[in-house]
């Protein structure tokens, strides 16, 4: 499976909250990292982390706006939009995901965003 196909399947699964599909493309020892401080290893923990993040929203969508692929690595610029479950407030921010693959599965997802901008959006 190509890196591009894995990236497309990743965003499709996350946007549809299809954790079964995500499990199929995640390596058993996948690492998912959000920013510099939150990181988990293992398929189940990674899916749990992603599920917990999107559970904060009634609606959410990660829209890749630019994808650069070099071998087994992809850098993806993203615009995240969502409607907070707590109060219906619309939030939007930009992020960058770096996705590493082994040619068949995703072995690491590192999501980077401006925490000074994003954290207040999640807490207001």
Identify the CATH number of the domain in which residue 83 sits.
Answer: 3.10.450.50
- Alpha-carbon span 85 to 70, nearest angstrom: 37
When pLDDT is cut at 50, 70 and 90, the band that residue 28 belongs to is very high
Q: Which residues pair with 86 in a beta bridge?
A: none
What mean pLDDT comes out for the span 40-63? 94
Q: Identify whether the C-beta of residue 35 lies closer than 8 Å to the C-beta of residue 43.
A: no
| Whether the predicted pLDDT of 124 surpasses 70 | no
Q: Identify whether the C-beta of residue 72 lies closer than 8 Å to the C-beta of residue 100.
A: yes
Q: Which of 61, 67, 124, 123 is nearest to 93 (CA)?
A: 61
When pLDDT is cut at 50, 70 and 90, the band that residue 35 belongs to is confident
Q: In the chain, how many domains are there?
A: 1
pTM of the predicted model as reported, rounded to 2 decimal places: 0.92
Q: What are the tens digits of pLDDT across the range 89-104? A: 999 999 999 999 999 9
- Alpha-carbon span 29 to 108, nearest angstrom: 9
First to last CA, the chain: 41
Question: How high is the mean pLDDT of the chain?
Answer: 94
For the beta carbon of residue 17, count every other beta carbon within 10 angstroms.
13
Residue 89, both tokens: 């407030």
The counts of H helices and E strands in the chain are 4, 6
What residue numbers bound the domain in which 14 lies? 3-123
């Amino acid at each position: 499976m190509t890196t591009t196909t894995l990236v497309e399947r990743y965003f499709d699964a996350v946007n549809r909250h299809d954790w079964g599909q995500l499990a199929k493309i995640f390596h058993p020892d996948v690492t998912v990292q959000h920013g510099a401080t939150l990181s988990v290893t293992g398929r189940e923990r990674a899916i749990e982390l992603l599920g917990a993040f999107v559970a904060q929203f009634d609606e959410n969508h990660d829209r890749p706006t630019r994808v650069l692929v070099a071998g087994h690595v992809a850098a993806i610029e993203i615009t995240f939009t969502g409607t907070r479950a707590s109060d219906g407030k619309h939030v939007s921010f930009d992020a960058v995901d770096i996705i590493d693959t082994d040619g068949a599965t995703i072995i690491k997802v590192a999501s980077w965003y401006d925490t000074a901008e994003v954290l207040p959006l999640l807490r207001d």
